[in-house]
């Protein structure tokens, strides 16, 4: 009797993916796009090439330089970028130079370090020494950093878009012998650059909540609360201005996407639609293994359909929160272990698919360098380059963006395959969950704190906001 009563419910659950797939197909077919020549899209190989390209483009700029990132750090890497920007302005005073960083992140010191005025102190120091010319704005996406940050990415220099999930400091720019690996793309297309620049002008420069940080008097966050609320409401419905270009035989369809909030989040919706539409293979890159529930569900559906899934994540020692055991333990150092436990549970649940080769999980590690890659490659004709970490925080709290590349002519396939092959050079494929380090081998301080989190179920809360 119970089986008969539950039959309609089971039938609805089985039919739901088909309804979702139809809705996803309709969403993707309605997306506008720029027709960008495939030879105008370049994949840069490493952070050194990214830094060199960035500095060269800054030096050659004639009209505009717009940079948006989580932060521009007060260290050698960040100062090198600021030096280049002020030098470009001195050479060409008609140059428009705007930098947008997270409001909260810019005004605090590093986690675990002494309290300070943060990177904003460097911004003001440069403005006092070199005068006007470089406008640095803080964008307060939420009232507090814990509940969401500016995670938008992109550098627009004249007609070029440099897109990476990286921020700007020593390790992201490979300045001091170590690097934090990300993905790096260069797209030369005036209309795409105009659209991304136009978004920054409409939603940031013209917002009462977005204020200059490199000026003497910076308002308090509390005084901006009403303006921040208005900014949030504005961003909920914001979109890039994108046409419906017709593709030529040598073109790739490029759509910039915005994502903010739990509902009506276009970037999230498109990512799920793309995954549901996968036919043969999905490659998913994420630095922190903490997948949002909708993504986990779609991956399960794809595995049941027989799709091949490849997931690359950083080894816990390649996580930017990892603290080597000889160093004093801090609570933030628990995160890499929490992410590894998430990965262990996921691998244990999919042992069969891992054994058959249908599911392939790779751990990336290269010495004491770190891993910060994000994005997806689907079949041979779809790629998403993004700063989205594929975690619950990115899915609901942070302001995110990305570039969707649809390539029906497979014009970029060789470039993406070369990128994927290069990444695997420093990655090891897990055979099963037992290949991960046992929790019994974790440092004593880590084991104690993990037990406390598990006992109080606070680990679930941490997974939702980190």
C-alpha 462/C-alpha 451 separation (Å) is 14
> Are the CB atoms for 238 and 266 separated by under 8 Å?
no
C-alpha 157/C-alpha 163 separation (Å) is 11
Annotated active-site residue 182? The verdict is: yes
Which one is catalytic: 372, 381, 419, 459? 372
Which one is catalytic: 102, 170, 182, 269? 182
C-alpha 138/C-alpha 66 separation (Å) is 14
Which one is catalytic: 151, 185, 350, 416? 151
Residue in 130, 134, 59 with CA at minimum distance from that of residue 101: 134
Pairing of strands 308-314, 400-406: unpaired
Annotated active-site residue 445? The verdict is: no
C-alpha 147/C-alpha 396 separation (Å) is 9
Which one is catalytic: 102, 398, 400, 407? 400
> Are the CB atoms for 379 and 280 separated by under 8 Å?
yes
- Cα–Cα–Cα angle for 154, 155, 161, nearest 5°? 90
Token output for 411:
């014009």
Give the number of other Cβ atoms within 10 Å of residue 327's Cβ. 10
C-alpha 55/C-alpha 40 separation (Å) is 19
C-alpha 150/C-alpha 168 separation (Å) is 14
Give the number of other Cβ atoms within 10 Å of residue 186's Cβ. 21
C-alpha 143/C-alpha 186 separation (Å) is 33
Residue numbers annotated as active site? 151, 182, 372, 400
């Amino acid at each position: 009797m119970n089986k008969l009563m539950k039959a309609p419910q089971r039938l609805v659950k089985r039919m739901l993916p088909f309804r979702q797939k139809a809705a996803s197909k309709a969403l993707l077919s309605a997306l506008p796009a720029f027709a960008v020549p495939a030879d105008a899209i370049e994949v840069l190989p490493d952070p050194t090439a990214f830094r060199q390209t960035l500095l060269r483009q800054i030096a050659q700029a004639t009209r505009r330089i717009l940079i948006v990132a989580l932060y521009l750090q007060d260290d050698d890497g960040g100062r090198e970028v600021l030096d280049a920007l002020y030098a470009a302005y001195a050479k060409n005073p008609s140059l428009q130079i705007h930098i947008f960083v997270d409001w909260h992140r810019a005004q605090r010191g590093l986690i675990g370090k002494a309290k300070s005025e943060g990177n904003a102190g460097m911004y003001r120091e440069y403005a006092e020494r070199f005068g006007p010319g470089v406008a640095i704005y803080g964008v307060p996406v939420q009232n507090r950093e814990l509940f969401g940050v500016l995670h938008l990415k992109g550098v627009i220099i004249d007609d070029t878009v440099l897109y990476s999930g990286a921020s700007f400091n020593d390790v992201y720019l490979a300045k001091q012998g170590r690097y934090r690996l990300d993905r790096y793309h260069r797209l030369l297309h005036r209309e795409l650059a105009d659209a991304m620049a136009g978004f920054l002008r409409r939603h940031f420069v013209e917002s009462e909540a977005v204020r200059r940080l490199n000026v003497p008097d910076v308002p308090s966050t509390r005084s901006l609360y009403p303006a921040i609320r208005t900014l949030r409401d504005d961003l909920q419905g914001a979109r890039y201005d994108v046409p419906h270009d017709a593709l030529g035989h040598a073109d790739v369809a490029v759509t910039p996407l915005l994502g903010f909030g739990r509902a009506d989040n276009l970037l999230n919706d498109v990512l799920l639609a793309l995954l549901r539409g996968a036919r043969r293979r999905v490659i998913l890159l994420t630095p922190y293994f903490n997948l949002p529930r909708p993504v986990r569900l779609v991956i399960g559906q794809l595995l049941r359909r027989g799709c091949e899934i490849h997931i690359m994540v950083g080894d816990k020692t390649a996580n930017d929160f990892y603290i080597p055991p000889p160093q004093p333990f801090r609570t933030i150092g628990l995160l890499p272990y929490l992410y590894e436990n998430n990965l262990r549970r996921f691998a244990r649940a999919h042992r069969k698919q891992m054994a058959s080769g249908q599911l392939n999980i790779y751990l990336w590690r290269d010495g004491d360098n770190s891993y910060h890659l994000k994005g997806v490659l689907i079949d041979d004709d779809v790629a998403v380059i993004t700063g989205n970490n594929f975690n619950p925080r990115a899915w609901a709290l942070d302001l995110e963006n990305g570039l969707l590349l649809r390539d029906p002519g497979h014009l970029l396939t060789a470039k993406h395959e070369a990128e994927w092959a290069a990444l695997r050079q420093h990655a090891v494929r897990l055979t099963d969950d037992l290949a991960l380090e046992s929790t019994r081998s974790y440092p004593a301080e880590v084991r104690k704190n993990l037990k406390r989190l598990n006992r109080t179920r606070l680990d679930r809360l941490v997974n939702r906001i980190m």
